[in-house]
Amino acid sequence: MAYVATRGGEKAIEQAERLFRQDLGTIDAQRVETIRATMPYLIDRVMGEASLYDEELAALALAQTGGELSEAVLVLRAWRTTQPRLAIARPVKQDEVLTQRRISAAFKDIPGGQILGPTLDYSHRVLATDVLEGKPFAPPAVDKAASSAPAKQPSLADWQRQQGLVAPANPSAVSPEDIPDLTREPLLFPASRAHRLQSLARAETGGVLALGYAAMRGYGNAHPTVNELRLGEANVVVRHPRGTEFSAGRVRVSQAEVTSKEKGGYLELGFAATFGWNEVKVIAAATLDLNSDDAPVGSPVHEEFYLYHTESVEASGFCIHFKLPHYVTFQSILDAMRDAKVKRAAAEAAGEVYLGEPEEEPVL
Amino acid sequence: MFNETPAAGPGHGEMLDILARARPNRLKQHAETLLTALGEINVIANRTGLVMVPMRDTVKNVDFHLGEVLVSEAHIADAAGHVGYGMVTGRDLERAMAMAVIDLSVAARGQDDITANFLEQERAHLAAVDEERMRQVEATRVEMETF
């Protein structure tokens, strides 16, 4: 291993950072609050990928990185390490979520019914250029129903189990303290289901979408149908020193089940969930989960492939490290190239054929 | 970490639910009015930290970690050993402390009329906010036969 020293680097680095921050201008509490209040889906995406739920901090991370998402996620994950873990909450159960959007593409008559919730799914996507002409866009008010939607909706998968459509599942017997935790232990393969789902929950949205889309287009074993998509708010249930359970507040969550075809007499189901409302991510992630079981090693739907390649901080970090000086490595490539040219010329002069050196497999 | 002692009676959980989501300014103002009657208070903890939130997978009933939530915590006690505790999502330490002060007051002296009124007003406010939202949500219910 060898290094090349860079003279004058300290000053250039300082000025480069200043230039980046100068371009963003002064960051104050008002800017952070504006980002938080006006871009909830972007905030949700950052919180999900950072695996840290706090809207204010996510908005600050976006403000100070200029919206560079991988940098925002990195700075939030780094900040997270400064905080002690105070507790592990009671596990969130699907039928306890304050549900604001719940649809199924597989069954039209699901118990509790279908609620579109806040969505643009059935709307024309038209850019409101009038806003730029000085005409603010004020959204029309919702015509409220006479009565409220139920705060909680039943689990579709449980109903399907009662109908014999979905395989029985054993009750969870793991205490919250014993749930495998990727923030405390490495991801090993074959991964536990808890590790797989935690990794997908914090995965990079674009990466999950790309690999999930590959599976949907035919590079997987199963084509998904959304069994249930649910967006809602979950209580963070903690315990008082005297033992009383209570909710310290609510967090937005998304979860999706996707199904494909019959297997062993039951519908196959894939599942994924994440912090925030990010339905593209959970549908794509559930598709990867659905495709995992029989996936060939090395395919995009094999868990080792998609879990490693959708880890946002590792992936972006590895990608951007290639910008850093690799002069010594590259010099050795040039040396090898020049050496090969010399040998080829010598072989041709001697009337021989130069076959070259055998190529080595790349080392990751 | 939380201990496993039995829960502190009926109504305690509901009160804590309300306090954790009460309007911050009103919460702090009410806690201020209780402070003088509580005497000397020992602050055991007042800090920010993380709560890991697990979720149950609906396919195989496996619990997994969704991620961590930033919370503010306050843990206090009076001279007689009564405990007050507050935990709220976010980084508002004063809000957590105000919750703990009200919890301590109820633990030490029972629920006074002003606190009972405060809790009822906040309960009604939170219920109204939820009802307003869920009536809007209900307006998006769709019958797939006609969709």
Instruction: Name the burial class of residue A25, with classes exposed (0-12), middle (13-18) and buried (19+) by CB atoms within 10 angstroms of its CB.
Output: exposed
Look at residue A355 in the predicted model and tell me its pLDDT: 79
- Ordered by start, the domain boundaries in chain A are 9-80, 94-138+148-169+177-317, 326-352
Q: Tell me if chain B has a CB within 8 Å of the CB of A275.
A: yes
Taking the C-alpha atoms of residue A204 and residue A220, their distance in angstroms, rounded to an integer, is 20
Residue A304 has what pLDDT?
96
Residue A122 has pLDDT above 60, yes or no: yes
Query: Which chain A residue has the Cα nearest residue B71?
Result: A248
Nearest to B2 among A166, A241, A251 (CB): A241
Site of tokens 């209780």: B34
Indicate the pLDDT class of residue B4, thresholds 50, 70 and 90: very low
A301-332 pLDDT, tens digit each: 999 999 999 999 999 999 988 888 888 778 88
Share of chain A above pLDDT 90, in %: 73
Question: Hey, is the C-beta of A236 within 8 angstroms of any chain B C-beta?
Answer: yes
Query: Does the pLDDT of residue B7 top 60, yes or no?
Result: no
What pLDDT, on the 0 to 100 scale, is given for residue B9? 54
pLDDT (tens digit per residue) in B101-116: 999 999 999 989 999 9
What residue type is A296 in one-letter code?
Answer: P
Residues A234, A92 contacting (CB under 8 angstroms): yes
Q: How far is B123 from chain A (nearest CA, A)?
A: 14
What gap in Å lies between CA B92 and CA B89, rounded to an integer?
Answer: 8
The domain segmentation of chain B, as residue ranges, is: 12-138
pLDDT at A189 exceeding the cut of 90: yes
Q: Which of A114, A142, A170 has the CB atom closest to B142's CB atom?
A: A114
Least CA distance to A141: which residue of chain B? B136
Query: Structure tokens of A88?
Result: 């592990």
The CB-side HSE value for A285 (13 A sphere, CA atoms) comes to: 31
Give mean pLDDT, residues A57-61: 98
Q: What Cα–Cα distance (Å) separates residue A75 from each residue in A24, A59, A310, B48?
A: 16, 12, 18, 18
CA dihedral B112, B118, B120, B123 (to 10 degrees): -140
How many whole angstroms separate alpha carbon A291 and alpha carbon A301? 6
Residue A116: closest C-alpha in chain B: B140
At A327 the pLDDT is 80
For residue A173, the chain B residues in CB contact (below 8 A) are: none
pLDDT of residue A2: 56
What is the CA angle A189-A195-A196, rounded to 5? 80
- Using the beta-carbon criterion (under 8 Å), do A244 and B51 form an inter-chain contact? no
Q: Are A181 and B52 within 8 A, CB to CB? A: yes
Identify which of B59, B91, B74, B77 has the alpha carbon closest to the alpha carbon of residue A169: B59
Q: Which among B49, B64, B132 has CB closest to A84? A: B49
Of A150, A15, A155, whose CA–CA distance to A94 is shortest?
A155
Side chain identity, residue A253: V
Cβ of B74 under 8 Å from any chain A Cβ? no
Q: Is residue A64 a contact partner of residue A17, using CB atoms and an 8 Å limit?
A: no
ipTM value: 0.93
- Mean pLDDT for the stretch of residues A230-242: 97
Q: Do A240 and B12 touch (CB under 8 A)?
A: yes
Give contacts of A258 with chain B, Cβ < 8 Å. none
Cβ–Cβ of B56/A94 closer than 8 Å?
A: yes
Is B136 in the A-facing interface, judged by CB distances under 8 Å? yes
Asked if A111 is an interface residue toward chain B (Cβ–Cβ < 8 A), one would say no
What percent of chain B is predicted at pLDDT more than 90? 88
Segment A233-252 mean pLDDT: 97
Cis status, amide bond into A190, omega within 30 of 0 = yes
Q: What is the pTM for the complete model shown?
A: 0.91
**d(C-alpha A57, C-alpha A65), whole Å:** 12
pLDDT of residue B8: 59
Residues 6 or more apart whose CB falls under 8 angstroms from that of A319 comprise none
In whole numbers, what is the pLDDT of chain B averaged over residues? 92
In angstroms, the CA B98 to CA B110 distance is 17
d(CA A209, CA A189) in angstroms, rounded, equals 22
Kindly determine whether residue A240 and residue B145, on different chains, have CB atoms separated by under 8 Å: no
* pLDDT tens column, A126-170: 999 999 999 999 999 999 999 999 999 998 998 999 989 999 888
pLDDT digits (tens, 9 = 90+) for A211-227: 999 999 988 877 889 99
Per the prediction, chain A carries an average pLDDT of 92
Q: Which residues pair with A203 in a beta bridge?
A: none
CA distance A73 to A43: 10
